[in-house]
Amino acid sequence: RGFSAAPAPAPAAAPGSPLDPSRLRNVAVIAHVDHGKTTLMDRLLRQCGADIPHERALDSITLERERGITIASKVTSISWKGSELNMVDTPGHADFGGEVERVVGMVEGAILVVDAGEGPLAQTKFVLAKALKYGLRPILLLNKVDRPAVSEERCNEVESLVFDLFANLGASEEQLDFPVLYASAKEGWASSTFTKNPPDEAKNMSELLDAIIKHVPPPTASLEAPFQMLVSMMERDFYLGRILTGRISLGVIRIGDRVHGIRNTPSGVEKIEEGKVVKLMKKKGTNISLVDSAGAGDIISMAGLSSPSIGHTVANVEVMTALPTVELDPPTISMT
């Protein structure tokens, strides 16, 4: 399939044991609308997400197909060279500011997709501001370099526009030192050096995937603690009921564990509901992988509780302190 040579993958985690956090990467994909996020995600999945069986998957049932379960979750996992990349889509619109904040609060890295022809636009600035605020060091992906109007000079111009944007948004020295890749998501490739037509054996997303492993720090989180997760996304499934998605802050969650949903109130912690973990799921392309456990640093979807929602904490029943929720900026009023 024309991939560059991959090192031997790390040994598979034993069934029932969560991945070591050092093998995880949580990455937000941020962009102005139409700059190519959807196309990019699709290409990444085609290269390595959808067709590699998850080593921790309990079975390979395609729940969506066989039982009609659908998870619209914006999180998709990709297996790459022994690591697992949780890629989180973000809405490219200021109306969803709260959602963007919740996403950048769950990840340690970001890919900033910018159309090399158009350069950075209003929503590029908006989503970048959120990413920088959360201390992320985005990787710049200049997309659509296949377009006739996009030259190396144009890319240099756009790079310096993006640099100025970072600087104006108060980026740190480290954040200003962002890696740059050149891509045609449409043709399915990314390159760390400028080209409009890479050789066939390099017409793939390997360099982007390698850049993610290299530049995005793994989550630092302890598996040796009672389980705690902040709920960042919520959806409903006809069969499973409420599905809660979040990044595990501490500990390990397993099928059958007793957990409870809690939240902070002015008068202290309130217990919302106690119950059992019925299903743990990860989305892999269009498939849903069932897993029997997940650990700190990972992003997981769970079914079993029907009352907690976004901003609440799901935790081991012995935990009686809710996690801090994301601080939202005051809403911005758009005049357009």
CA distance 184 to 190: 6
Between 42 and 273, whose beta carbon lies closer to ligand GDP? 42
Closest CB 310 distance from ligand GDP, rounded Å: 23
Query: In the complex, what is the shortest distance from the CB of residue 35 to ligand GDP, in angstroms, rounded to a whole number?
Result: 5
**What is the residue-wise DSSP string for 78-121?**
EEETTEEEEEEE---SGGGHHHHHHHHTT-SEEEEEEETTT-S-
User: Rounded CA gap, 27 and 209, in Å?
Assistant: 11
CA 122, 105, 90, 192 dihedral sign is positive
Whole-angstrom Cα distance, residue 334 to residue 235? 28
Encoded tokens for 171: 């980026």
Nearest-angstrom CA–CA distance, 234 and 243: 6
For residue 86, the minimal CB distance to ligand GDP (Å) is: 18
Shortest separation between residue 134's beta carbon and ligand GDP, angstroms: 21
Sign of the Cα pseudo-torsion (207, 209, 212, 218, in order): negative
> CB-wise, 39 or 83, nearer to ligand GDP?
39
Nearer to ligand GDP, 82 or 188 (CB): 188
Q: How far is the CB of 138 from ligand GDP (least distance, A)?
A: 15
Q: Of 73 and 143, which CB lies nearer to ligand GDP in the complex structure?
A: 143
Q: By C-beta, is 73 or 293 nearer to ligand GDP?
A: 73
Smallest distance from the beta carbon of 143 to ligand GDP, in angstroms?
5
Cα–chain center distance at 266: 32
Nearer to ligand GDP, 107 or 185 (CB): 185
Give the footprint of ligand GDP on this chain (CB under 6 A): 31, 33-39, 143-144, 146-147, 184-186
